Structures are given as C-alpha cells and as structure tokens.
A and B are shown apart, each in its own frame.
Chain A
C-alpha cells in the first residue's frame, strides 16, 4: 500500500517590525476583502470553482480576522469601496490584484527554490506608494490583505486515490495555499508576510476558517 507523502509546509513569517505602530494607542488596520477561491478537485485533476463555498469562506475569514484582532488590540477598519471616488477605487482594485501576484512571487522566490539575485538582502517586497490612497481615505497605518486558494477532493477523486493506492500510483488530493500580509500604507512595503501551503487545513465552515486564520496570523507583530 502506498502512503502518500504528506508535506504540511508552513513558513516562518517574514517580518520587519516586531511591534506595530501604535501612536494613537491602538493600531488602525484596514481589513481588505480577502481574495478567496475554493474549488473541488475532480477525479481527472481539473479544479471546479465552488461558488457557495467561496462566498461563505470569504465571510467567515473576515469574521475570524476581526475576532482574532480584538485579542491583539487591533482595530480592523472595514474597506468600503463605495466610499471612494471611482478613480481611487480602480487604483485600490489594481493594488489588491497586484498583491496576489506579488504574494505568489514571494512564495516562489523568497521561500521557494527560485531565488532572485536581486532579492538577497532579506525581505524586500513592496506594492508601491499608490496604496497611500487608503491611508488618506481611512487614516489607517496598515492594510491587512489575505489571499487563499483551497481545494478539496471530490468523491470521485477520493475513490481514485484509493484505487490508485492499491495500484501503487500516487494520486494527490486537494491543497490549501494561503498568504496574509501587512502593508505599511506610507510606503506600500510589505512589512509582514506569512503563507501556508499544505494538504491539510480547511476553509469550509466557521470553525475551520477560524483555525486557518489563527494559523495564518501566527507571528503577527505585537
């Protein structure tokens, strides 16, 4: 019987500040809507996006961040795009999209094997100064951005895994890949980053979402 190698890969967070800027007693952090996609892994390896799971996970993650923020003496400010003028809204949308790309690059090039020769001086990643739109609008010091892609084996995939194991063929299952960052809104610099890349973890249901968020926030600056 073939045992599938389980690699629960969790990074050590990259952090510049050990402590948050708390000039006003509490730190104001804008909680951006997380970029989340939950999918089902079909027998043949295709990913099928799951709309209801994704929508629920998004809500549950936001709730979990807020609940866990309280324990850390953080005021999370909701991002409300309707409060921004159209051009600024577009800018914020582009920045959050850029965050997805940069976050994946950090995973690949900071933690993965594909080291970049220009990035050998510690942790040096930024979204650029256009994030200041958020600082001006909300009077916040930081923004918290989260990104999550989670997949789960369908019944067919589960069955295939069992048959595969009997036949001696490894059939991988679903994966949880997520990262969360703290952005300094004065500079756009990513001052804290933590990712998860594991074949365990779940974002379906409040309890699971809470657990994943707690793991994501490990090592968050005080």
Chain B
C-alpha cells in the first residue's frame, strides 16, 4: 500500500536526523490490530490518547444530546457484539441526537452513532455495515496511526524548516496534505473490514452498496446542500465507495440476513422525534428521499404519511398544499399519526378559508393534546372572527 511505503521513507529519513540529534520517537505501543481486552499503559503514546478519549467519553455520556433510550442502545450494542464477540466488552455505543448521517469510533472503544444515520440505514444489515466500518477504525488503531504519522511528518517538516529555510515550509505543507489523504485510505480499509465483519456475522453483503446508493440518491436530490455533508468531505466519494463495495459484496456472496422488520421495530418509538429533527433542517428534497426509503423498507404508515405532508406544507411550492392535504388524508386512513396532524391540517384549512373545518381540526388537536404548549395560540385562532 502506498501510505506504508511513504511512511517507511519518512521513517528512514527521520532516523537519520535521530542519529544526529536524537529527535526520533520510539514506537511505544504494540502495532497491529487491538487485542481483545487490551488497555494501553498510561506511559505510552496510546495510553495518553486513551486518557483524553476517556475524558471525552464522559462528556458524551453526560451530554443532553445523548439519546438515553435503553432499548435502542442495547439493540445497537447487540449488533456490535454479534460483529465482534471478542471485543464486546471493550466497546461502548452511544446514540447521539444529531440529524446527519455519521458515526464515529474513538481509539478507546467509544462508538457514537448519530440519530440521522438511524433514519438512513434501512435494516440491521446496513446498520451492521456502518458499525463494522467504525469497528474497523478501532481495531486497526487508525487514530493512533494518524497521530503518529502527523507527529513524525510535522517533526520532519520542522527539521526541514530550520535546516533549509522557506523550502522546508513548502515541504511541510505537502506533508500535511498527505496526512489527510492517508485518512482516506484508512476509510477504505474500514469499509473493507466492515463488509468482512458483517458478512462473517451472517448479514447480506449486498446491503452495503445498497445503503450507499440510497445516500447517493439523497445527495443528488439536493445539489444545493452538498456542502452540509461534513462526512463526505473527509471520506472517499460515495460513488467510489459504492463501486468498490459492490465489487467486494458480489465476491462475498448473494445470501445473508437483512432483518429489516426487527430494525424498524426497534426504531419505531423514537422515529417520530428523529423525523422532527430532520424536518428542522429544511432540506425538503432530501427528507422526501429518506421518507420514500423508509416506506420502501418498512411499508407506509400514518406517521410517515404525516411527515411527508409536513415536508410539503413547510416547503410550500406550487401544488404542495394539495400534496400535503393528500398525505394527511392518507395518514388518517392508515392510523398511527401524531395529534399534530390536526394542527397542521387546521392551519392549512384556515389559510384556505375553510373556517368550519379548521375549527374542527384545531379543536381535535387540543383535545388529543391536553398539555399542548401552544394551546393559547391555537385558542386565539378559534375565537370568532372580528374579535381579538
């Protein structure tokens, strides 16, 4: 692999300067994949990083943005343990309230899954692929590798700067660039490991490229908002990943477990609140794609129909009023929608001058939500016209 040879070259140069001025650092933690039950000694560079991450983990654990739903957290953890039984006790999973597609792995075994990701993986196999990818970063010590690489490259760059003046700082910039491209190679390695782990655990490999195709479809629906994707900036392009993963998944075989029903069952009680967060992003074309993907995987229901109606109502483009009303009608027919449907419907009816129907809908909302925080405002809409 290219990065390895590049590191070897740098290592060689570094040891030259080390011989002269004792500038080199000993590699003071084991190389290769993390062993089960491993914990580094505090005096190693790895131990220092773990200590910092343990502190960061305490912040995550006590954060108001952590989703504390025990059942969901236990479910995600179960999938982790199915992927890496040996490391089950070494890894902690935190579901974080953040409406974007992202997950992260820290070197100390903390894994964070963002809530926006849970709306975008459509079955357990896809979730397993993401978790497997993050476990790949953890198992391969990617953070430590990157930090060591940065330290050695920047040390070398500093020597160049002092040794050769301005030419050295250019070399330093070039090295900084390779530090970041290196991490893309790590992403590729994590993709490969994720696919291997989920295949070994009995999940269907082809679900991985399917997830990427869904993400690409979502991204393409809304070219304006591509810059929002922090995730895609630091990773290889989704197209490249989908292509590579399709090739690898085809080689891994066509069979395996998908477990869409189980996945959506576990998500069900939280899904409404996740969709509310999603709506607040006002990225309507994307949200519509996500809703369609949920319907394709889990079937239509009143809640999804309601949120589809909300997207149209809030977007308010030509024809959206009609689309929203149709979606609300569908929600009522399917059942399982939140009482807020009547508020939305009532407000639309008010706007359309359908006063009687509006009063009925808004009344229904207040009846179903006795503790509604906007009760006073809704009641003001219900007052006879002409009074204030």
Contacts and interface: CB of A to CB of B under 8 A. Distances in A.
Interface of A: 37, 39, 42-46, 48-52, 54-55, 89-90, 93-94, 97, 154-156, 159-160, 163-164, 167, 169, 171
Interface in B21-46: 21-25, 41-45
Contact of A163 (B59, B147, B155, B162): B162
B24 to A, nearest CB: 7
B62 A90 contact: yes
A156 B50 contact: no
B48 A46 contact: no
Contacts of A169: 161-162
B273 interface: no
Contacts of A89: 62
B60 to A, nearest CB: 11
B101 interface: no
Contacts of A37: 52
A37 B48 CA distance: 10
A32 B335 CA distance: 53
Given A42-B154, A43-B23, A171 B162 contact: yes
Contacts of A160: 21, 23, 158-159, 162
8 contacts: A43-B158, A44-B151, A49-B52, A93-B58, A94-B64, A156-B22, A160-B162, A169-B162
Interface of B: 21-25, 41-45, 47-52, 58-59, 62-64, 147, 150-151, 153-159, 161-163
Contacts of B150: 46
Contacts of B62: 89-90, 93-94
B248 to A, nearest CB: 35
Given A45-B158, A93-B58, A160-B23, A51 B43 contact: yes
A87 to B, nearest CB: 10
B72 to A, nearest CB: 18
A155 B23 contact: yes
B24 A52 contact: no
Nearest to B47: A51
A42 B17 CA distance: 14
A52 B44 CA distance: 8
Contacts of B158: 43-45, 160, 171
A33 B52 CA distance: 15
B50 A46 contact: no
A51 B157 contact: no
A51 B59 CA distance: 18
Contacts of A94: 62-64
A54 B155 contact: no
Nearest to B158: A44
A156 B17 CA distance: 10
A52 B47 contact: yes
B50 A51 contact: yes
B47 A42 contact: no
A50 B48 CA distance: 5
A171 B154 CA distance: 14
B154 A45 contact: yes
A167 B24 contact: no
Nearest to B50: A51
Contact of A51 (B23, B42, B155, B162): B42
A51 B43 CA distance: 6
A159 B21 contact: yes
A193 to B, nearest CB: 23
Nearest to A154: B25
Given A49-B48, A49-B51, A51-B43, A44 B22 contact: no
Given A155-B23, A163-B162, A169-B161, A44 B156 contact: yes
Contacts of B63: 94
Given A44-B155, A52-B47, A90-B62, 6 more contacts: A49-B49, A49-B52, A50-B48, A55-B42, A160-B23, A164-B162
B256 to A, nearest CB: 39
A49 B41 CA distance: 13
Nearest to A38: B48
B25 to A, nearest CB: 7
B154 A44 contact: yes
Contacts of B159: 43, 160
Contacts of B155: 42-44, 46, 156
A156 B24 contact: yes
A42 B42 contact: no
